[in-house]
Amino acid sequence: EIVLTQSPGTLSLSPGETATLSCRASQSVISSYLAWYQHKPGQPPRLLIYGASTRATGIADRFRGSGSGTDFALTISRLEPEDYAVYYCQVFGSSPLYTFGQGTKLEIK
Amino acid sequence: EVQLVESGGGLVQPGGSLRLSCAASGFTFSSFAMTWVRQAPGKGLEWVAYISTGGSDFDYADSVKGRFTISRDNAKNSLFLQMDSLRAEDTALYFCAKHRGDYLNENYYYYMDVWGKGTTVTVSS
């Protein structure tokens, strides 16, 4: 079973700053199996990135996914008020079929 | 507009049953595999179940295996989750999500591109 560890647990930044969120896998994963989601209270999770680095339809280019092997990152540039949310990485596997990281909460400083 | 709308949540006693539904619209439902994901209060996202396009292949998280059954009715654009022998730890917001398994540039890509708003299940006496 692949375990995804996200860090930090909470990230406090001001609008305009750059956020870097980390997702570390317990074993090497295929990059095309790695996705990132944004989740706000009362809303459904929103796909941001798939294939580790491909932005989903309608996602601003301020969001950038990177990484390979066991280390992946989501970078959000020029933070805007609507970016404050919880972010999850996710990997497709065999057992279980999908694994999520525990999430990183991005809060306004 | 692509849309998923869950229903069927509610309060149920431990050991009881509940059937969740997910109504799909705006896309060719029968062409996509589907999944259920849940979020317990104050916790993160947890994948629960998967079903293939035709409904013949499915998979479950160990935490629900043997108690939950995923199914679909492609004629009615609907996804279901039959939940039996419910436990307090099944209390969560349950989302249905559209699964994507795309083959592009010699690589397979797997992710969930559309999610519903969820339906709440509370297991308590």
How sure is the predictor about B35, in pLDDT bands with cuts at 50, 70 and 90? Answer: very high
Q: What is the pLDDT of residues B61-109, one digit of tens each?
A: 999 999 999 999 999 999 999 999 999 999 999 999 999 999 988 999 9
pLDDT, position B73: 98
The answer to whether residue B47 scores a pLDDT higher than 90 is yes
Interface residue of A1, A5, A32 to substitute, partner B, most B CBs within 10 Å: A32
Neighbour tally for B72: CB within 10 Å: 22
Percent residues over pLDDT 90 in chain B = 98
Q: Do B115 and A35 touch (CB under 8 A)?
A: no
Calculate ∠ Cα B35-A4-A35, nearest 5°: 50
Of A43, A50, A86, the CB nearest to B111: A50
Tell me if A47 and B46 make a contact (CB, 8 A cut-off): no
By C-alpha distance, the chain A residue nearest B65 is: A96
A11 touches A94 (CB < 8 A)? no
Q: How far apart are the C-alpha atoms of B99 and A9, rounded to whole Å?
A: 27
The DSSP line for A11-73 is: EEE-TTS-EEEEEEEEEEE-GGGEEEEEE-TTS--EEEEETTTEEPTT--TTEEEEEEEEEEE
Look at residue A95 in the predicted model and tell me its pLDDT.
81
Question: Given the structure tokens 């969930």, which residue do they identify?
Answer: B112
Can you tell me which residue has the tokens 């991005």? Answer: A106
Mean pLDDT of B50-71: 96
Looking at every residue in chain B, the average pLDDT score rounds to 97
pLDDT at A38: 98
The answer to whether the CB atoms of B115 and A51 lie below 8 A apart is no
Contacts of A90 in chain B (CB under 8 A): 45, 111-112
- Backbone torsions φ then ψ of A98, nearest 5 degrees: -130, 140
Q: What 3-state class would DSSP assign to B76?
A: helix
- Nearest Cα neighbor of B98 from B44, B48, B50, B63 is B50
**CA-CA distance, A80 to A64, in Å (whole number)?**
15
Out of B46, B62, B110, the one facing A100 most closely (by C-beta) is B46
Task: State residue B46's pLDDT score.
Answer: 98
Those residues of chain A that have pLDDT short of 70 are: none
Residues of chain B above pLDDT 70, percent: 100
Query: Which of B44, B109, B117 has its CB closest to that of A50?
Result: B109
Task: Write out chain B residues lying below 8 Å of A33, CB-based.
Answer: 108-110
